[in-house]
Amino acid sequence: MSASDAFAFDWSVKTTESETVELNSNQFLRNSPAGSVGSYSTLTANAEARTPTGTFDFDGDGTYRKYWGPGIAGTASEFLSYGFKARYEQREKNKFDKEYVEASWRQQSTALALLNDLGVTSGLNGFLDRMTISGGIDRSLSAVDTLSLFATSTRTSYEPSAGGTAFTDTLARASWRHALSSTTGVSLSSEGELLDYDNALGTSIQIFRNQVGIDSSLSALLSFRGNVGAAYLVTEGGATTSVLGGFPTVSSTSSTVLDWVGDAVLTYRMLKNTTLTVTASQSVGPSIVGSLFKRDSIGASLTQLINSQSSLTFSASGNRQISTATTDYVSASAGYSYNLTHDWLAQFTYRYLHRFASSGTAVFDPITGTPTVSGTGPADSHSIMVVVTHSYTLLPAGN
């Protein structure tokens, strides 16, 4: 007689329900403000299966949004989005070594996608579908060197198909980090991104980004991480608009653009329970609907832990979006979070948002045909938001 191997999983299942109520003086940043009330219901679930060397994760979520009031005139009052994700991760003997694959699918209303990503309101109907497949490998080459390889591809389509321009976004990245000491490391990364659009011109955009970075724990209270480099864009079959004989026309064009990209995060633990975080970044890439954007941002947040149950957060930021038009935003917010019980969390947030007048007259991206700004004039909004979240473990993890 001989014993056979047993193959078993340790399962855990968790869910989270969240209900949000928002009062906003100008939800969609219109030039003529009007108030609205929004209710957002979100349900998420996670099922995890573990083995001694691997993990399966299955995630699902759904969100329903409903608006009331004069501020939503001319805009859909209901939005629905939901999605699923599956991930498998295999761990090796070294804790830094692993391989993983991931697949996800998400559907949301096209109007909601534009609102969440660009702050743009539109009368578009139908749904936007995104199917993504990703994978990567992390390896420790030595005691001080690590290598990461990552690849992902997302197919974005519309229901109905006339609701937008379908496109495929494929990206591959390689990064290497070398530890100079126990507190400081330097890194190099290189990535290439290809955007293929299903438009009449057969537009394709190639984006190459190469960056050098450093991360350091300068002291027990202060840490810094930063990356900077160049982005090189090559457009083939791009679209340019003009008016010939009194009629608008679209013609094909090719171009190359060189710009810099980077990001930085400075974290300072001012006091035992007070943390200041300052961030800055410049990026070049596609929006959720494929329109190309250059985005600059700078922000700061201050978190104060009052006790084991409650905390305060203050933040401020400035952002610039550059596409067919240039639009600047500034915002400031204050939030209070309180753990009612182990499973219940309540949050109260006030936010002020200001959009400056946009420069440029084009409000539609010529490649995708989608709007890039919601208005060319200045606008303000004041928002009060209350969120209650309940987390529940249906099946706790074993040993």
| Placement of tokens 């321009």 in the chain | 165
Give the pair of three-digit tokens for residue 211: 């960056």
Report the alpha-carbon distance of residue 288 to residue 290 in Å, rounded.
Answer: 6
CA 206 to chain centre: 21
How many C-beta atoms surround the C-beta of residue 253 within 10 A? 14
CA nearest to 322, candidates 360, 354, 352: 360
Report the alpha-carbon distance of residue 68 to residue 35 in Å, rounded.
Answer: 9
- Phi, then psi, of 269 in degrees rounded to 5: -90, 90
pLDDT means per 10 residues, the chain with 399 residues, are 57 95 91 91 96 93 94 84 96 87 94 80 82 96 94 95 91 97 95 93 92 94 96 81 38 78 96 95 92 93 94 96 88 97 95 88 75 78 97 83
- Per-residue pLDDT at 242: 36
CA 75 to chain centre: 24
DSSP code, position 364: B
Report the alpha-carbon distance of residue 148 to residue 145 in Å, rounded.
Answer: 10
- Per-residue pLDDT at 244: 35
**Domain segments of the chain as ranges:** 10-395
Element (H, E) at 3: none
Q: Decide if 365 contacts 373 (C-beta within 8 A).
A: no
pLDDT tens-digit map of 42-59 = 999 999 999 888 999 999
Under CATH, which number does the domain 10-395 receive?
2.40.160
- Phi, then psi, of 173 in degrees rounded to 5: -140, 140
Rg, C-alpha atoms of the chain: 24
Q: What is the dihedral of CA 47, 50, 53, 54, to 10 degrees?
A: -20
Q: Decide if 29 contacts 60 (C-beta within 8 A).
A: no
Report the alpha-carbon distance of residue 63 to residue 316 in Å, rounded.
Answer: 27
- Per-residue pLDDT at 249: 41
Report the alpha-carbon distance of residue 338 to residue 389 in Å, rounded.
Answer: 11
DSSP 318-339: EEEEESSSEEEEEEEEEEEEEE
Alpha helices by DSSP H, the chain = 110-118
Task: Classify each residue of 324-342 as buried b or exposed e, where b means 16 or more C-beta atoms within 10 Å of its C-beta.
Answer: bbebbbebebebebeeeee
pLDDT tens-digit map of 208-224 = 999 999 999 989 899 99
Would the pTM of this model clear 0.75, i.e. be above it?
yes
- Per-residue pLDDT at 126: 86
- Per-residue pLDDT at 374: 66
How many C-beta atoms surround the C-beta of residue 2 within 10 A? 3
- Which positions ≥6 away from 278 have C-beta within 8 Å? 265, 266, 268, 299, 300
Report the alpha-carbon distance of residue 244 to residue 141 in Å, rounded.
Answer: 60
